[in-house]
Amino acid sequence: MRVFVLNKSRQPLDPCKPARARILLRTGKAKVLRRYPFTIILTEEVNEPITHNHQLKIDPGAKITGLAIVQSNRVIWGAELTHRGFQIRDSLTKRRTIRRSRRNRQTRYRQPRFLNRKKPKGWLPPSLMSRVQNILTWVKKLTRFCPITGISQELVRFDTQKLENPEISGVEYQQGTLYGYEVREYLLEKWHRKCAYLNVGRRPALSCHGSVVWECQSILRFHP
């Protein structure tokens, strides 16, 4: 685990080893700026400092998100960020229960407020928004302490068929429950969810023929 180093003008420099940081602190060439993440700031200005490329890796999760800073394929700093998503969900559920029970009590009249609220564009659930804001906060914080030149996030697609049946293979694996789904959605978007022949939009049909697979083949053949 490396120690973050800032120039006297608070410009991020390359992180150093803990032994090097102790020497700088002992000789009075640096002072402690933050306890976590542990960061020191130099007492003298370094003219034209040389920095290297650092990559910030993010592994998002529902409960815990992993953060790592990599330099030349070597991890120099890492942390786990614990989210409050489930705690926020439980708090909202408790508030909803109290609000509904209050309606049955003899309380003063309140103007109804359920018809004057709408969700803004780009709205996210509070639990998910908390997770996003936590990650953004730490990304901005780390970019102030380390010369980060790139950010990458892990995107995972689970193979649910392999999870349910590890022995699946061959035609059974190729023609699973979602067989033809992506092709069908592509054709629906291409023809604006209308029939390719009759140009009607009451039913999101691909054509006037039988099975979905045969419909896809016929449209691709006659309407490239």
> Residue 5: pLDDT above 90?
yes
161-180 tens-digit pLDDT: 777 778 878 877 777 666 66
Across the range 204-221, mean pLDDT stands at 41
Write down the pLDDT at residue 81. 94
Beta strands in 117-220 (DSSP E): 148-153
Q: Mean pLDDT over residues 187-191, rounded?
A: 75
Predicted pLDDT at 150: 93
pLDDT in the model for residue 216: 43
Confidence of residue 219 (pLDDT cuts 50, 70, 90): very low
Residue 166's pLDDT is what?
80
For position 197, what pLDDT does the model report? 62
Contact at 8 Å (CB) between 68 and 35?
A: no
Tell whether the model's pLDDT for residue 195 goes beyond 70: no
Alpha-carbon distance 22 to 143, whole Å? 23
Number of helical H runs and strand E runs in the chain:
7, 8
pLDDT at 221: 39
Residue whose C-alpha is closest to residue 6's, from 149, 151, 142: 142
Least confident of 5-19, 149-163, 185-199: 185-199
| Amino acid of residue 208 | C
Q: Which of 49, 13, 46 is nearest to 146 (CA)?
A: 13
* pLDDT number for residue 191: 72
Number of C-alpha atoms within 13 angstroms, CB side, residue 75? 9
pLDDT tens for residues 104-128? 776 676 666 777 778 888 888 999 9
Which residue carries 């090097």 as its tokens?
20
Mean pLDDT score, 66-91: 93
* Angle of CA points 198, 204, 207, to nearest 5°: 45
Question: Which residues neighbour 70 within 8 Å (Cβ) at sequence distance 6 or greater?
Answer: 54, 55, 56, 57, 76
Domain range summary for the chain, segments of one domain joined by +: 167-222
Order of all β-strands in the sheet with 39-42: 12-16, 3-6, 39-42, 30-34
